Structure 1
């Protein structure tokens, strides 16, 4: 009898343990979708209960955390209305998308509190998984950490012709993985190496029910710094079908897939024989090379505060539980053998080779940075490269630090040529816009700068470790042609006008352009938020024409200011932001 009682007690305890483990799981949130050609996005404050009895302050898009998935179609002309209801300035960048620089959403294209940004563009990108997130200099890590990010799925005819899972939320799932640190009050910590809590689509301890068939996961590393070495429990194989900017030539069978912050990949998993079972999407961080954030060590004795105390570093851990349920109707049950033809640019077609060297301002052994590219920290006023329209270029990335850096370039997709002179693996041979460059590694890629040029508004390139980016590991380039240059030689204007200053925000100087169609007495004055005069830039007679004034605010504190053009028959005022 005692043996029976003991057995029953053991069985009950096991059942209770099983129930407690599974009851602790939360159903994975699948972002809502928006489709069509007009998209209304509102950046807003919110809150989420990640822990019982605690409310975490967040920022989201059209909701409390993260944002809706935007489904775009190649060739469509789309309009975005992005409203900022915060009390803080921000931006929204369409990561990976090929758009004009004024529509790209970089740090120069700010969305001031209470205003709406309205970019218009044609979708020129191939079918792939892209994303959107803030990109305000010195604020990117904060705004992304607090929750502003969302998927973009582009569809095209080539992808539509393939027998692939594409029923959103049924057999095609967006999966954004982010690590977060919380303080004692369960608020997000923006800069911390104790990011030991994994959120998937903003869900803590998530599970996802998937049908017993071939399923597509669109993986996005949306973390601030952490790299993941994705794999399935038990080393089950999966097939990668796409990278940052589109499908691969053929599916690549893998057991591990390393994704650095900003990178995306589309994978197919065959669950056809697994109905009723569960498995896990994991990160095998024990296999990450030294120097990659998320590995057990940062190499050569380098370290970061609290890095060694983070239980995820160098560990193998679960990310998402996958529960396999019955298959759906019209199920995809096999992986195609061919996808599309990628046509990399010929090396012989390159017009120039640019060398970008990553270094630490604290010396090679310094793991904390700040890090810079070619010895120069980012400046809003400095254009690092002027690139002729339609140039084909090879960029050579040399990492002379002890930390791996994911390099991202705006405007274009590129093709990787080699790592330390060795051709890259098959799953890295598609179109990309982020590449992880390991310590002391040299990576080369080739790309072409086509379709868009602008003599004023630049594109960015930077490390996609958001703390590194905010600390100055970033540069900018203009894509220009003769038409842009000639356009700067303007005829006599036909009306009065006052342009938005550039750059904006700025530190410490910016340019203000205005136009007069007749000779006038001109006053150009700067005011603070209380309407007090800060300085008078111009107070004199001017002939008809277009003028540009440099304003240096090195003696002013950060904040919102206004500048006003006042002529005999015309008055206009605009707002600008000084950020130091």
Structure 2
């Protein structure tokens, strides 16, 4: 109770402060982006300095603006004293460029992925994605927008002057502990930020303004609306523009989700309104609603957080004079939506959300976890699903818990096609990479896996409640090209013994029979061969791995026999 009281005092000290101008992240354009991750500090209340992280600064990150078709390079330098990663959330890129937990950037190291922008115009974001480290690093400030533009979006009469009538809004809730540090894995997230600004105010012109909304929170969902009852028009979801604007007075946004809305402020000059979360209207089971769980399956101290189930302000908006060349109308139509053909699906998968036991003595809680997917916790050494390149699949997500989970998948955008066996509502339409699965609900989506395959480097899918993800509610999948000339032999079929694994100095291969000739490659998680050796007319090989850095690697063995039938196998090893 003492800790809860402290969080409330922190909140009260924050709300007593004056309004602060909304921080608009600086916009960077490519094709080369230099992103320096660094530590720093900010004074959020009083004169106390709070340790923070930032990109090209001490707090938050710049907005990256790119065009569809651009070929870009991002030099991500880790200036922290700990490992990190950087994931391009929503972008369709090769697994080795995705920035998941396998693409580790060591302290003082630099990771430089290069790729072509293949997504349509949309709002994406970037943030760390290390195993067990996403929440601490995102909460301390590592989150930034990615805006993709294309010729189709450019042909529409939409606001697009960045920072004036095209404004990114990253909504986050955070908690502070007794040491004035940003607290992790707590339910007392009583400090509300937009773009890293506490109690922000924004001046807008009396015309149509475009807000690019991102829920960058670790846990909290928001039910967004305006204090004057203003209607607004949703024009885009996670993956791009809708076919027509959708008229709304409320918009629910769960962690990881994005939405673009148009608000017509014409005729409101001189007025002040607030962007609010009407969380009293959230359905039970959603983090931010008035309650989660029942009986003994509840979240301790959840009801001590006065934001839960309450309505509260997020952003004060002051409406001023019209700008030059304003947009004053909302378009009637946007971009034709090309649906996936359900009959083209060749594979159906079921992903079940459930509780797991990390230790034998654990008593799982249906509201508070720990949680897993298909009865498993995330394992860096495990591939959970194998997907074939250029195939369409239907996935069914089933939530057996008492808390809503926002499901996110890397690599693709998907189309939700069914909820609880019924057609979806208009609010669920559009391209998505995050969908909220309510307690005891079942949701189906369809997607196509194309362009990229890699037999070694996986993509992720997971819950985007960050402490759920960090605690193991995540899994991996490979996309493989079955048309390639060489196949993959499963680890269980590998016909040699590899030891010790993990290894420190030497790695021994013991084959069942003498090998006529084979290539042995050690490949890192970026798909690069870092060590190569051959073996001929022998049944054993000792490989010196002492100079290899710690981490996970793949062993690729290509056996070339006396015939054209060569054998190809892959397995993993850990360098300590």
**Aligned residue for 2:183?**
189
Contact 1:248 1:427 in 2 (8 A): no
When residues 550 and 48 of structure 1 are mapped into structure 2, their CA distance, relative to the original with a 3 A threshold, is: same
**Aligned residue for 1:338?**
333
Tell me the distance in 1 between the aligned counterparts of 2:154 and 2:196.
29
1:324 is aligned, of 319, 322, 337, to 319
**Aligned residue for 1:368?**
368
Contact 2:397 2:437 in 1 (8 A): yes
* Structure 1 position 280 matched with structure 2 position 247: no
Q: How does 1:376-455 map to 2 (within 5 A)?
A: 376-455=376-455
Q: CA RMSD in A?
A: 3.0
Q: How far 1:346 sits from its partner (Å)?
A: 1.6
**Aligned residue for 1:315?**
310
* Structure 1 position 83 matched with structure 2 position 81: no
Q: How far 1:522 sits from its partner (Å)?
A: 5.3
Gaps (5+ residues) in structure 2?
Answer: 1-13, 358-362, 490-515, 551-558, 562-566
**Aligned residue for 2:499?**
none
2:533 is aligned, of 505, 513, 516, to 516
* Structure 1 position 254 matched with structure 2 position 248: yes
Contact 1:244 1:434 in 2 (8 A): yes
Q: Tell me which moved more, 21-30 or 269-278.
A: 21-30
**Aligned residue for 1:138?**
132
Contact 1:241 1:251 in 2 (8 A): yes
Secondary structure of the equivalent of 2:427? helix
Secondary structure of the equivalent of 1:286? helix
Contact 1:59 1:143 in 2 (8 A): yes
Q: Tell me which moved more, 48-57 or 148-157.
A: 48-57
Tell me the distance in 2 between the aligned counterparts of 1:518 and 1:300.
62
Tell me the distance in 1 between the aligned counterparts of 2:219 and 2:287.
7
Q: How does 1:498-577 map to 2 (within 5 A)?
A: 499-501=522-524, 514-516=531-533, 523-526=543-546, 551=573
Contact 1:243 1:428 in 2 (8 A): no
When residues 456 and 525 of structure 1 are mapped into structure 2, their CA distance, relative to the original with a 3 A threshold, is: closer
* Structure 1 position 464 matched with structure 2 position 464: yes
TM-score by length of 2: 0.84
Q: Deviations over 1:125-183 (max 9, x none)?
A: 01000000000000111111111110000000010000000000010100000100001
Tell me the distance in 1 between the aligned counterparts of 2:302 and 2:283.
15
**Aligned residue for 1:175?**
169
Contact 1:226 1:261 in 2 (8 A): yes
When residues 279 and 115 of structure 1 are mapped into structure 2, their CA distance, relative to the original with a 3 A threshold, is: same
Q: How far 1:500 sits from its partner (Å)?
A: 4.7
Q: How does 1:78-227 map to 2 (within 5 A)?
A: 78-227=72-221
When residues 525 and 345 of structure 1 are mapped into structure 2, their CA distance, relative to the original with a 3 A threshold, is: closer
Q: How does 1:488-503 map to 2 (within 5 A)?
A: 499-501=522-524
When residues 364 and 281 of structure 1 are mapped into structure 2, their CA distance, relative to the original with a 3 A threshold, is: same
Tell me the distance in 1 between the aligned counterparts of 2:241 and 2:16.
36
Contact 2:293 2:366 in 1 (8 A): no
Q: How far 1:364 sits from its partner (Å)?
A: 8.0
Q: How far 1:502 sits from its partner (Å)?
A: 5.1
Q: Deviations over 1:247-279 (max 9, x none)?
A: 001000001100100000000000011000000
Contact 1:243 1:264 in 2 (8 A): yes
Secondary structure of the equivalent of 2:45? coil
**Aligned residue for 2:40?**
46
Secondary structure of the equivalent of 2:106? coil
When residues 484 and 66 of structure 1 are mapped into structure 2, their CA distance, relative to the original with a 3 A threshold, is: farther
Q: How far 1:191 sits from its partner (Å)?
A: 1.2
Contact 2:15 2:199 in 1 (8 A): no
When residues 343 and 522 of structure 1 are mapped into structure 2, their CA distance, relative to the original with a 3 A threshold, is: same
When residues 89 and 230 of structure 1 are mapped into structure 2, their CA distance, relative to the original with a 3 A threshold, is: same
Q: Kindly tell me the number of residue pairs found equivalent between the two proteins.
A: 517
Q: How far 1:185 sits from its partner (Å)?
A: 2.7
Tell me the distance in 2 between the aligned counterparts of 1:374 and 1:424.
25
Q: Tell me which moved more, 87-96 or 359-368.
A: 359-368
Tell me the distance in 1 between the aligned counterparts of 2:464 and 2:282.
18
Contact 1:360 1:371 in 2 (8 A): yes
Contact 2:416 2:424 in 1 (8 A): yes
Q: Deviations over 1:458-490 (max 9, x none)?
A: 11000000111111111111111135571779x
When residues 391 and 194 of structure 1 are mapped into structure 2, their CA distance, relative to the original with a 3 A threshold, is: same
When residues 266 and 393 of structure 1 are mapped into structure 2, their CA distance, relative to the original with a 3 A threshold, is: same
Q: Deviations over 1:386-431 (max 9, x none)?
A: 1111110111001010000000000000001021122222232110
**Aligned residue for 1:538?**
none
Secondary structure of the equivalent of 1:383? coil
Secondary structure of the equivalent of 2:318? strand
Tell me the distance in 1 between the aligned counterparts of 2:15 and 2:104.
45
Q: How far 1:343 sits from its partner (Å)?
A: 0.8
Q: Deviations over 1:518-549 (max 9, x none)?
A: 879955144899x9xxxxxxxxxx99999978
